[in-house]
Amino acid sequence: MESISTANPSPVVPSSESALSFRLAKAWGYLGILFLCMVVSAIVVILLAIPFQHGSFNTKSPVMKLLLYVVPFLLFALYLKKKQKLGAMLQPEAGIKRVPGVLYLLILLFIPAIHIALDPLVSLIPMPDVVRDMFVNMSGKDIFTFITIVVAAPVLEEFLMRGLLLRGLLKNYSPATAIIWTSVMFAVLHLNPWQGIGAFVLGLVLGWIYYKTRSIWTCIFLHFANNLMGALMMLILPEELAISSLYDMVGNPLWFGLLYGVALVVLAFCIFSSKRQLSSLPLKYE
């Protein structure tokens, strides 16, 4: 991945984009408002579900999990609409360029490689039994859990993190600063270190791609591919094994070492190739 300038830009922001120009404190404020929406929606949805605790619509049902995920984003969207920022966020940036098709193929190679590369780091953090049980409960094999993870999360989180926060910060900070901070926010959004580490690294990649292409849909595709791989693992593997480390799954240090080496080679190839593919795209705000 190519180096990104840390010098503060002197952007000329189009008038249509002025609604999405803000500083770091405002970006954290938006994330805080989303967390508030999560608390409010959880209370409301759970209270509404109490009469149905013995039916299919209860607080542990897949439908409830989908609602508890989507409703906070809907409330946040209403807040943005009230502040006259929703329309600007949904409007594509001016000067968006056609993304090379080969980049999507590189993404499909990159996703498993980065997960393998991060596995030893994530495994260093001990996972308490209560957290492990939480992940097992989240890893359902039903259609609503699949929709939540593979469809809702990539779309909603990318419009928030890249479509709103990164887009706004790029107008006031250097690309490196904006990308790193939104990656930190992306990690915080996941509310646990086991997903947060991967989310931070994925956020760096998503931020770089958005910075180079200004294409929110390319970021959604990468996020979709990442979550789809996780969802397929949950469908194929037993629940306990699906949340285990890759090292534990392989069970043999030699085989894991070979797999890890291949992953690093693939990762280097993807980074070098994507750099070449995106190097010709013009950069805004520079």
pLDDT of residue 29 exceeding 70, the answer is: yes
Task: For residue range 221-238, list pLDDT tens digits in order.
Answer: 999 999 998 888 877 876
Which of the pair, 29 or 196, is modelled with greater confidence? 29
pLDDT of res. 177: 96
Mean pLDDT score of the chain, rounded to an integer?
83
Q: Which residues of 246-277 are buried (b: 16+ CB within 10 A; e: fewer)?
A: bbeebeeeeebeebbeebeebbeebbebbeeb
What domain range includes position 145?
97-278
Out of 8-17, 80-89, 119-128, 139-148, pick the least confident. Answer: 8-17
**Residue 53 forms part of a structural domain:** no
Residue 27 lies in a domain: no
Any domain includes 83? no
In the chain, the number of structural domains is 1
Give the model confidence (pLDDT) of 45-87 as tens digits. Answer: 778 777 766 555 556 677 888 888 999 999 999 999 998 888 8
pLDDT bucket at 250, cuts 50 / 70 / 90: confident
Tokens 């929606």 label which residue?
41
173 falls in which pLDDT band (50, 70, 90)? very high
Is residue 23 included in any domain, yes or no? Answer: no
Please, are residues 249 and 119 in contact by the beta-carbon 8 Å criterion?
no
Whether 77 is in a domain gets the answer: no
pLDDT, tens digit, 9 for 90 and up, residues 104-117 = 889 889 999 998 89
Least confident piece of the model among 97-106, 165-174, 208-217, 257-266: 97-106
Is position 227 within any domain?
yes
pLDDT at 286 over 50: no
Q: Is the pLDDT of residue 4 over 60?
A: no
CA–CA gap between residue 80 and residue 89 (Å, rounded)? 9
Whether residue 211 lies inside any domain: the answer is yes
81 found inside a domain: no
pLDDT at 245 over 90: no
